[in-house]
Amino acid sequence: MPADRFYIKSAIIQGQSIKIEGTEFHHLVHVMRASIGDSIEIVNGCNVLAEGTIRAIEKKYASVLINKAIEKPPSSFQIILAQAMPRFNRLDFILEKGTELGMTQFWLFPGACSERKTISDNQRERMELVMVAAMKQSGRLDLPFLEAREGLKKWDAPLPYAAFYGDVSPSAPSFEKCWKEKPPREGAIIFIGPESGFNEQEIKSMQKLGVMGVKLHHNILRTDTAAAAALTLMSHWALF
């Protein structure tokens, strides 16, 4: 596990000062008990890792001088989870584990069987906080891109990458077989349904988009387990 890191949304430039505010400031000052002169690591979710020195601690922010900033090349392979909206107690797990497993984009859309069809600004903010925490804990430097989309019947072809969906039918081919027969080159998308799965119309919509049904496991998986299983496989195969 990396050292405690602190997240900011702005650019990080060596030799300049940045402000740490909000929940990150609270964690820095009131949880970690940091003091002026301490060295800390800072990330911005854009593949930059910086080391800085705390120069001042004010009432609502800390000023940090950036001593060193290293930029890492972005991922050359896109791993995208297209998730039909689940219950929010499962969504946190999906976002956390997805971030840890290398998910680069998260597309959230209302499924026909989703209990909830929309997300509020507060809920979106919470989703981002979950991903930020997982990014810092896992040591990665890039934050997955979060996009809220419309229902599947409003999507247009073509999709940017090879795409698959979790198919529970006994005749569905294995995910591994389909991937290895025609390995995706630049990225891949996995569609996962909500707790009650996809309905027939959604399956037809995905098939029109060129999405292939695949079996993720010989057992039927919960939506959060299916997402984690699929992302684990995709991140592993993308390395080889």
Residue 20 structure tokens: 């740490």
Do residues 225 and 158 share a domain? yes
Give residue 240's pLDDT. 75
Do residues 200 and 100 share a domain? yes
Give residue 171's pLDDT. 94
CATH (domain of 208) = 3.40.1280.10
Radius of gyration of the chain (CA): 20
Give residue 157's pLDDT. 87
Residue 102 structure tokens: 């290398």
Distance CA 56, CA 218 (A): 57
Cα dihedral sign for 45, 47, 53, 55?
negative
Give residue 239's pLDDT. 83
CATH (domain of 59) = 2.40.240.20
Give residue 175's pLDDT. 98
Identify which of 164, 158, 193, 166 has the alpha carbon closest to the alpha carbon of residue 181: 164
C-alpha neighbours within 13 Å on the C-beta side of residue 7 = 21
- How many structural domains comprise the chain? 2
| Domain extent for 133 | 78-238
Q: Are 119 and 148 in contact (CB under 8 A)?
A: yes
Do residues 65 and 128 share a domain? no
For the chain, residues with pLDDT lower than 70 are: 1-3
Give residue 2's pLDDT. 64
Strands in 105-109's sheet, in edge-to-edge order, are 145-148, 105-109, 78-84, 187-192, 162-166, 212-214
Pairing of strands 162-166, 187-192: parallel
- The amino acid present at 45, given as its one-letter code, is G
Q: Tell me the per-residue pLDDT of 36-59, one tens digit each, with 9 for 90 and over.
A: 999 999 999 999 999 999 999 999
What per-residue string of b and e applies to 167-198 under the rule 16 or more CB within 10 Å gives b? bbeeebeebeebbeeeebeebbbbbbbbbebb
Do residues 108 and 154 share a domain? yes
Do residues 86 and 59 share a domain? no
Do residues 87 and 152 share a domain? yes
Do residues 48 and 126 share a domain? no
Give residue 3's pLDDT. 67
The CA–CA distances, whole Å, from 26 to 60, 77, 208 equal 8, 35, 49
- The amino acid present at 216, given as its one-letter code, is L
Do residues 10 and 94 share a domain? no
